[in-house]
Amino acid sequence: MPPGDFTRGEMVVCVSEAGDVVARGLVNYSVAESLKLLGEPSSKIADILGYESEPELIHRDDLVIV
């Protein structure tokens, strides 16, 4: 999969604007779904996607800060 492309449940690497790795985590939504949700409140997830998995892209229990 190309960089920046991910599916639900996949482990992603989070980088700073400088390109430094800052965290790794399991995502609750795909990149396509995430782009639809960008800038929207969590309360609108079900309205936008037709379902709600979780209210966040990466839950803190599924996030490792490096």
Instruction: State the CB neighbour count (10 A cutoff) for residue 16.
Output: 9
Return the pLDDT at 19: 93
Q: Which helix (H) or strand (E) holds 21?
A: strand 21-26
Sequence ranges of the domains in the chain:
11-65
Buried (b) or exposed (e) across 19-53, using 16+ Cβ within 10 A?
eeeeeebbbbbbeebeeeeeeeeeeebeeeeeeee
Domain covering 11-65 in this structure, CATH number: 2.30.130.10
In this predicted structure, the answer to whether residue 2 has a pLDDT above a threshold of 90 is no
What's the pLDDT tens digit per position in 12-61? 999 999 999 999 999 999 999 999 999 999 999 999 999 998 999 999 99
In this predicted structure, the answer to whether residue 64 has a pLDDT above a threshold of 60 is yes
Task: Specify the pTM.
Answer: 0.84
In this predicted structure, the answer to whether residue 1 has a pLDDT above a threshold of 90 is no
